[in-house]
Amino acid sequence: MSVIIAPSILAADFGNLQRDCEMVNNSKADWFHIDVMDGHFVPNISYGMPVIKSIKKHAKKPLDVHLMIEKPERYIEDFAKVGADIITVHYESTIHLHRTLTQIKNTGCKAGIVLNLTTPVSVLEDILDKCYMVLIMSINPGFGGQKFEDVTYNKVRKLRKMIKDQGLNVLIEIDGGVNATNAPKLIEAGADALVAGSFVFKSDNPTKTIEDLKNC
Ligand code: DX5
Ligand code: ZN
């Protein structure tokens, strides 16, 4: 199975959202990565339901919705309603994580957990079997265009081992500073899905950049 590529719409041109959605549709990308930020959990504000609804109108691939918001349990049904296919919530953002994952699954969406850079993968030990995916942040969340942190490789290896030891089939996704240099190393460490924002949308030929990542 080849690596899943999820271009991050945060780096798209919001004045040409339909054009950029079509680019992703017509590329080798697998998912649309959608970053929701509330100005509390992270210091930045991105976009919410109306924009996701507009993306959904054009997107022909699943929407991977990454919630960087406090108490995401308040909005799960709303995000499902506007078209999310996968919803990931931060371990650090919700007190009753098990309940929040169940809430996501009850909407029909696939559920995942996101870990901040300094949150160890060991916290997932007793909840891993409830996850479709774990997203490991390779930057401090909040902004695109930041530098990839090398601590990520070891976290991916540890998590891959934990998944294997438990006999599970959980996807590992990486988000932040992904490029053609770190992508092969991430795949080798055990990553299944790569989010890429700036590297794709700020490149001269985003379609080709996606293809290059896919072929890593
Ligand atoms: C940042 C977001 C990322 C961001 C990645 O908090 O979660 O998805 O868009 O952007 P790049 O690939 O530019 O680091
Ligand atoms: Zn993200």
Catalytic (active site) residue 126: no
Ligand 1 atom at minimum distance from 141 CA: 6
Question: Which amino acid is it at 200?
Answer: V
pLDDT digits (tens, 9 = 90+) for 7-27: 999 999 999 999 999 999 999
43 lines ligand 1 (CB under 6 A): no
> Tokens 């265009």 sit at which residue?
145
Q: Can you tell me whether residue 197 is helix, strand or coil? A: coil
Q: Which ligand is closest in space to the CA of residue 88?
A: 2
Sign for the pseudo-dihedral over CA of 16, 22, 28, 33: positive
List the residue whose alpha carbon is closest to atom 12 of ligand 1. 197
Check residue 1 and give its pLDDT: 79
pLDDT digits (tens, 9 = 90+) for 97-126: 999 999 999 999 999 999 999 999 999 999
The Cα-based distances of 110 to 84, 103, 114, 155 in angstroms read 9, 10, 13, 22
Catalytic (active site) residue 129: no
Q: Can you tell me whether residue 83 is helix, strand or coil? A: coil
pLDDT digits (tens, 9 = 90+) for 186-211: 999 999 999 999 999 999 999 999 99
Q: Which residues are registered as beta bridge partners of 98?
A: none
Ligand 1 centroid – CA 141 distance (Å): 7
- Give the Cα separation of 153 and 32 in Å (integer): 24
Ligand 1 atom at minimum distance from 178 CA: 12
Percent of the chain scoring above 70 in pLDDT: 100
Ligand 1 centroid – CA 127 distance (Å): 25
The pair of structure tokens assigned to 180 is 């053609």
The Cα-based distances of 161 to 106, 150, 172 in angstroms read 29, 18, 11
179 lines ligand 1 (CB under 6 A): no
114 lines ligand 1 (CB under 6 A): no
Asked whether residue 95 carries a pLDDT value surpassing 90, the answer given is yes
CA-based nearest residue to 159, from 173, 176, 177: 173
pTM: 0.98
pLDDT digits (tens, 9 = 90+) for 33-53: 999 999 999 999 999 999 999
173 lines ligand 1 (CB under 6 A): no
- Averaged pLDDT of the chain: 98
155 lines ligand 1 (CB under 6 A): no
User: For the chain, what percentages of helix, strand and coil (3-state, to nearest 5) are there?
Assistant: 40, 20, 40
- Give the Cα separation of 126 and 142 in Å (integer): 28
- Give the Cα separation of 84 and 80 in Å (integer): 5
CA-based nearest residue to 67, from 46, 81, 98, 53: 46
List the residue whose alpha carbon is closest to atom 4 of ligand 1. 144
The answer to whether the beta carbons of residues 35 and 66 sit under 8 Å apart is: yes
Asked whether residue 86 carries a pLDDT value surpassing 90, the answer given is yes
pLDDT digits (tens, 9 = 90+) for 164-192: 999 999 999 999 999 999 999 999 999 99
Query: Mean pLDDT across the stretch 1-11?
Result: 96
67 lines ligand 1 (CB under 6 A): no
Check residue 166 and give its pLDDT: 98
